[in-house]
Amino acid sequence: MKLQAPSNMNMALQTVFALVTGLVLGAVPPALGQDGCVSLSQPNPIAQQYPELPTGTLNVTIAVVPIPLRVARKMLPSKWKILTRPYRALLPDFPPDKYPVFMQFALDHDIQVTAVKFSISRLSAAFSFPFIDLLGDGYTSFTWTPTQLISYNNIAAITEAEKYGQTVHPARFDPECNAYRYVKSPPFKRDTYGKSSSVAVNGSNPNTHVEMQFTPLPNQNKSPYPLEFFKNITNQPIFGDGVACDLQIRLFNTSLSQAPFEPRYVRGSISANLPPMEKVKKGRGMDYFGVQIDTAFIEVNSLNCSTLQGYEG
């Protein structure tokens, strides 16, 4: 998969400095947490390479949540369709009657525009629906993210997400400034291998929450989802209402995702109540597979979605 900017990126630069102004005015300090919490994520390695664009790092846990394809189609507004061919090509053993929703818990760290000299961080959690035929061309894949949990004290990030037609719930994260925390007990008693990690998010709406607990696979070569699949879904343009799109170009070839920080395949549990995926509950055993990875990214905001026709990441 090519990692290249769309041909209209230069046209989008005019929106960048408006975004930067909002970030500077509404940003919180780089250390998101209270009580002296300090982020353990690695610094942004590409800020100097792209001084006039927002860049940063995304330290994430991404887990695939298979749901019935017919249910996914009902959740999706009827004017949009699901492109099944591309994800079936990437996942030939994926059940034909299922669709790969994914949950992402993300620490956006050391977000910079070097030319303006500022740096911030933010936390978010969301269910996303990849491979959406937003433009009706039967080819270009977009990711629909209708609802997000975002750090309550990052007003700029909340406002920016709402511009895409997303519903945002200001939230408190645990941990407050890291992608996850290590826990002594694994997700399930019979699991004794690796270091388990945990995250929890509670939205301003008391019924809105996400909890995740994952542990490394004992055989890192046995993940049902290859890295190419995660590269694909995380490089699709993101939208809420289908008017404006956010383009995050994630780079999987920087020092952030090389030894000793290579991707870690995980398996674990999710408990969540976040529309439209309400009442995702912990089950018996380790229900979901995913990956923990830190990548650099370049971001181009507020693009007209129609200008991204044919974009391949």
Kindly report, residue by residue over 147-196, the tens digit of the pLDDT. Answer: 999 999 999 899 999 999 999 999 999 888 888 888 765 544 444 444 67
Beta partners for 101?
65
pLDDT of residue 283: 54
pLDDT tens per residue across all 313 residues of the chain:
333 444 444 444 434 433 433 333 333 334 344 456 788 888 999 999 999 999 999 999 999 999 999 999 999 999 999 999 999 999 999 999 999 999 999 999 898 887 776 667 889 999 999 999 999 999 999 999 999 999 999 998 999 999 999 999 999 998 888 888 887 655 444 444 446 788 888 888 878 999 999 999 999 999 999 999 999 999 999 999 999 999 999 999 999 999 999 999 999 999 999 999 986 766 545 589 999 999 999 999 999 999 999 998 7
**What pTM value is reported for the model?**
0.86
pLDDT of residue 304: 97
pLDDT in tens, 13-51: 434 433 433 333 333 334 344 456 788 888 999 999 999
pLDDT of residue 182: 81
Q: How far apart are CA 233 and CA 103, in angstroms?
A: 11
- Region class of 71: left (phi > 0), else alpha (psi between -120 and 50), else beta: alpha
Q: What is the CATH number of domain 9-308?
A: 2.40.400
pLDDT of residue 312: 87
Exposure class string for 67-97: b at 16+ Cβ within 10 A, else e: bebeebeebbeeebebbeeebeebbeebeee
pLDDT of residue 199: 84
Listed by start position, the domains of the chain span 9-308
- For residue 207, which amino acid is it? N
Question: Which ranges of the chain would DSSP assign to H, the alpha helix?
Answer: 9-26, 69-75, 84-90, 155-163, 227-234
